[in-house]
Amino acid sequence: MLGAETTARANVNVALVKYWGKRDPALNLPATGSISLTLEGLGVEATCVFGVESDRCTIDGDAAVGPDADRVLRFVDLVRSEARIEARARVVTTSSVPKGVGLASSAAAFASLAVAVSRAAGLRLEAPALSALARRGSGSAARSIYGGFVEWHRGERADGRDSIAEPLLAPGDWDVRMVVAVTSTARKAVSSSDGMRRAATSPLYPAWVETAERDLAEARRAIAARDLDAVGQVAEHSALKMHAIGLAARPPLLYWRGATVDCVHRVWALREEGVRGYVTIDAGPQVKVLCAPSDAERIAGALRGVPGVERVLTCLPGRGAETRECP
């Protein structure tokens, strides 16, 4: 029913096989599939109500203006056209993820918005349709509709209806940890969308697209077998390959800082000592380490000791997007 205030919550996800390049930027259709792990406790709560005087958006307690507000309101427009309504909306989002630090808060934001805004508009979408809708706000948000290990399909259709995510393993199906070393809380200089545009200039980009299916098959198999070393190896490979594209792009793109490199070497040194941790890095300088629960404390402690590391979080596999309707 239109007019009911709806609140939803979604968690961030970290890709193990990365999404890095679009086959259709307007619809956020990816050039390749990707596989991720949703993380508990790093999330965004979104509340939406239609039938107010004018469109208004509040992000983390402040009235939103500029590109952030535009992006949310464009998303609200999209839902309005799908629901065939004209009513104005009030949208409030609150994040427990530091903004712009490469922890993909946009994934949690648009997954929670997909649920809250569509329900407030009177739509009753199932998870696959919510995934397709969330994708329109930010590609990686398609995966945050689900918990645990998730695959987002490239899809073949020009309208993108088959470019949706699906769960591979529920959060309780495999107990792993993701240790996150934050090396900078400054807002990132080059957004993911811009980074992907630049990636397309790299001579390494065609090889990235060509080898994606192999990485996805390897990750799928390893996740089904709950084989941490196999998942870790393909995740590390996918991340380093993604960043190699940027080094060869014009102009070049390097998200890493000194502490990023030092964290990678620290994890590799721990591996020599038998600690099973594997790094992945997104469009920012943070280092995330996939590991067994029994190794998480040792890895977190080691990364805390790396100069330049501001803080270290340890995350569990997280739940998918959830809704709560106010009476």
Residue placing its CB nearer to ligand DP6 in the complex, 1 or 26: 26
Residue placing its CB nearer to ligand DP6 in the complex, 8 or 27: 27
Total residues contacting ligand DP6 by CB under 6 A comes to 16
Torsion of CA 313, 318, 321, 323, to 10 degrees: -90
Site for ligand DP6 contains 283 (CB under 6 A): yes
What are the strands, taking DSSP E only, across the chain? Answer: 6-17, 22-24, 29-30, 34-52, 56-59, 62-63, 88-95, 149-152, 165-169, 177-182, 277-280, 287-291, 311-315, 322-325
Question: What is the residue whose two structure tokens read 């307007």?
Answer: 26
Site for ligand DP6 contains 28 (CB under 6 A): yes
Residue placing its CB nearer to ligand DP6 in the complex, 6 or 163: 163
Q: In sequence order, which residues have a C-beta less than 8 Å from that of residue 207 and are 6 or more positions away?
A: none
Site for ligand DP6 contains 285 (CB under 6 A): no
Alpha carbon distance 195, 200 (integer Å): 9
Site for ligand DP6 contains 15 (CB under 6 A): yes
Span interacting with ligand DP6, options 11-19, 59-67, 268-276, 285-293, rule CB under 6 A:
11-19
Alpha carbon distance 119, 125 (integer Å): 8
Site for ligand DP6 contains 238 (CB under 6 A): no
Site for ligand DP6 contains 192 (CB under 6 A): yes
Q: Could you tell me whether strands 149-152 and 165-169 are parallel, antiparallel, or unpaired per DSSP bridges?
A: antiparallel
Torsion of CA 107, 31, 281, 74, to 10 degrees: -30
Question: Least CB distance from residue 87 to ligand DP6, whole Å?
Answer: 27
Q: How does DSSP classify residue 139?
A: T
Binding mask 123-162 for ligand DP6 (x = CB under 6 A): ---------------xxx----------------------
Span interacting with ligand DP6, options 13-21, 56-64, 266-274, 317-325, rule CB under 6 A:
13-21
Q: Which residue is nearest to ligand DP6 (CB)?
A: 139
Site for ligand DP6 contains 282 (CB under 6 A): yes
Alpha carbon distance 196, 146 (integer Å): 24
Question: Least CB distance from residue 236 to ligand DP6, whole Å?
Answer: 14
Site for ligand DP6 contains 12 (CB under 6 A): no
Half-sphere exposure in the Cβ direction for 173 (13 Å, CA): 17
28's tokens: 């956020």
Alpha carbon distance 11, 97 (integer Å): 9
Site for ligand DP6 contains 179 (CB under 6 A): no
Site for ligand DP6 contains 236 (CB under 6 A): no
Residue placing its CB nearer to ligand DP6 in the complex, 199 or 299: 199
Question: Least CB distance from residue 136 to ligand DP6, whole Å?
Answer: 9
Site for ligand DP6 contains 11 (CB under 6 A): no
Cis peptide before 293 (omega within 30 of 0): no
Site for ligand DP6 contains 184 (CB under 6 A): no
Site for ligand DP6 contains 96 (CB under 6 A): no
Residues that bind ligand DP6 (CB under 6 A): 15, 18-20, 28, 34, 104, 106-107, 138-140, 192-193, 282-283
